[in-house]
Amino acid sequence: YLKNLAPTDTVDKIDSQGKGEPDIFIVFEKKEGGGRQLKMQLFDINHDKKIDLVKHFEKGKLVKTEMDLDYDGFVDVVSEYDPDTGELKKKTQADGSTNIWKYYFKNELRRKEIDRNSDGKPDMWVYYRNGKVIRTEIDQSFDGKVIRTEGPLNINSAPKAAESK
Q: CA 112, 116, 121 angle in degrees (round to 5)?
A: 70
Tell me: pLDDT of 156 over 70.
Answer: no
In 3-state terms the chain splits into helix, strand, coil percentages (rounded to 5) of 5, 45, 50
What is the predicted pLDDT for the residue at 97? 67
What does DSSP assign to residue 59? Answer: T
Burial of 55 (0-12, 13-18, 19+ CB in 10 A): buried
Model confidence over 12-30: pLDDT tens digits? Answer: 999 998 989 999 999 999 9
CB 124 within 8 A of CB 111: no
Confidence of residue 123 (pLDDT cuts 50, 70, 90): very high
If phi > 0 it is left, if psi is from -120 to 50 it is alpha, else beta; for residue 22 that is beta
Quote the mean pLDDT of the chain: 87
**Closest C-alpha to 146, from 113, 120, 109, 119:** 113
Model confidence over 44-63: pLDDT tens digits? Answer: 999 999 999 999 999 989 99
Tell me: pLDDT of 154 over 60.
Answer: no
Model confidence over 109-120: pLDDT tens digits? Answer: 999 999 988 888
Tell me: pLDDT of 80 over 70.
Answer: yes
What is the predicted pLDDT for the residue at 66? 97
In this structure, what are the phi and psi dihedrals at residue 137, rounded to the nearest 5 degrees? -120, 135
